[in-house]
Amino acid sequence: MRNRKGLAVLMRTPMRGAANRRQLLAATSPLPRSNGASSSGGFQDGDDSCKVSLTDVKEWMRQSISISPDKFESLDANLEEFSKGYLSLSVERRRELLFALARDYDVNRTRVRELMQQYLKIEFSRIEEGNGVLDELLLAACFRMERNLRDALKPMYSVFFERLNAHPGGLKILAVLRADLLLVMEKENMPSLRALDSYLKEKLITWLSPATLQLHQITWDDPASLLEKIVAYEAVHPIRSLHDLRRRLSIGRRCFGYFHPAIPGEPLIFIEVALLKGVAKAIQEVLWDDPPILEEEATCALFYSISSTQPGLSCINLGKFLIKRVIELVRRDIPNIVVFATLSPIPGYRKWLLSKLASQLKLANMEENNIKLSETCSSSTFKERLLLPDEERSICDSAKGLFEGKSAIEILEKLLTSLNNEWTRSDGLLGTLKSPLMRLCARYLLNEKKRGKALDPVANFHLQNGATLENINWMADPSEKGIIQSFGIMVNYVYRLEGIEENAQSYFSTGYITASWSVLQYLEKPKEADDAE
């Protein structure tokens, strides 16, 4: 049986990691390939025998909104036709439909204005001061108008979303629709589209509350179709072989997913856990420790990968609830586990640092050519010291004969953008770059903010869940992806159960980041930096 299961997964799922994930997403989720291919079971835009037009799909949508709710058969038939038709549409046709939905089925503002005018004519003083029958009638009129106002302020597409959600398979279609909407908004961020997205997001948050989700431990005994999805959707550390997949589901490992009854057989999000003797500082310790330690000897549950499978559920924080449920389950089943931590990537670090280096090089070039930014502002206003004096000397010395530049900043920029990341294959350069890259990484995680919260998306996720920024680990992921994201650096976040709620509230209200001394010390200013200033 086990051999048959492995053969089924191996035959159905090419182990190509991220490429395989993209292939599955392109086939089953938003915005199909431009040739009209679809996963809707033969209902394809390019198939003349069952081809549908955008006009057809719009009409099914209109009827689904306007039809009387007591005509269940007609309503279900229209929703079914819309679902199949929408999946068959090309990229451009889906875009046109979303614009029509946002524009033509928005709030009826004429009706809202009429109701507001009626409401403002009410003599509120008579209601507040009197106690007679007339006043009770006026109060009843107020209640009625307020109810009508609430109904009028709902966009007309609210009916469509409610009905589609109640239809079999409708929740999946709504997730695909929102994923398409997010992609459209990247290029055309119009107010009507933002309003449509905001409303649909709020509805999805309600429909996907923890009470509606089912937690399931994914094991090797699950259907091959589910294991295939785990391989394809793994977003952090690609599953590269059948042995790798089986390893992640066997002794010393756990994999949990959140499922919804309306989308059977497909996790909305899943998390992979390693049971270890201590907090791992490198991903190799997690993925390649063979044989694993005995589970009764483990003291740490390390969350090393969390993957969302539905792009349309972006910014709907299912991971927060999943982590807390998994902590509860592991504590109950394995009492010897007392530490709950992560080994997390830093996806935004490299992009941020290279942007900083580029801006400083541009400012230095302007200074050299005596160019002012404006009459009231010189380039020195925006100049900042990214490297400490000893780091500058070390970089210049280590790169002699390899990379030339006018300054340590220029040399560093050339090193970090070198072809095939040559610096990672030199022990000397690795030793030289460790200090500045680790220090600047601490600055990025602790000080760089967006709307008062951590700029890095993974950091923001764990911090808003109440975790502590515990360790920054050098060369924890030397893979190509790890170098491209964060120069191989990874982070440990620790979930201390006694402080989770307090940390989360502090971060939410003030943006304060709870961090260990081992991280904070990177921001301590060395004495020679003071002297240099």
* Helix H or strand E encompassing 471: strand 468-473
Angle at 169 between CA 167 and CA 175, to 5 degrees: 105
Q: What share of the chain is helix, strand, coil (3-state, %, to 5)?
A: 60, 10, 30
Spatial distance between the Cα atoms of 29 and 168, rounded to a whole number of angstroms = 17
Spatial distance between the Cα atoms of 303 and 375, rounded to a whole number of angstroms = 53
**Catalytic residue of the set 237, 260, 462, 486:** 462
Cβ neighbour number for residue 250 with a 10 Å cutoff: 12
Check if 216 is active-site: no
**DSSP, residue by residue, 364-404:** HHHHHTT--SSSS--GGGG----S-HHHHHHHHHHTTTT--
Residues 492 and 344 sit within 8 Å (Cβ to Cβ): yes
Check if 462 is active-site: yes
Residues 200 and 161 sit within 8 Å (Cβ to Cβ): yes
Q: Which two tokens stand for residue 453?
A: 């919260």
As beta bridge partners, residue 340 has 301
Q: Which two tokens stand for residue 79?
A: 């929703």
In one-letter notation, the amino acid at residue 251 is: I
* Helix H or strand E encompassing 412: helix 408-416
* Helix H or strand E encompassing 238: none
Spatial distance between the Cα atoms of 505 and 512, rounded to a whole number of angstroms = 9
Entry field: residues in the chain? 533
**Catalytic residue of the set 344, 379, 394, 486:** 344
At residue 5, φ and ψ (nearest 5 deg) are -60, -45
Return all residues near 168 (Cβ < 8 A) that are at least 6 apart. 262
Q: Which residues are catalytic?
A: 344, 462
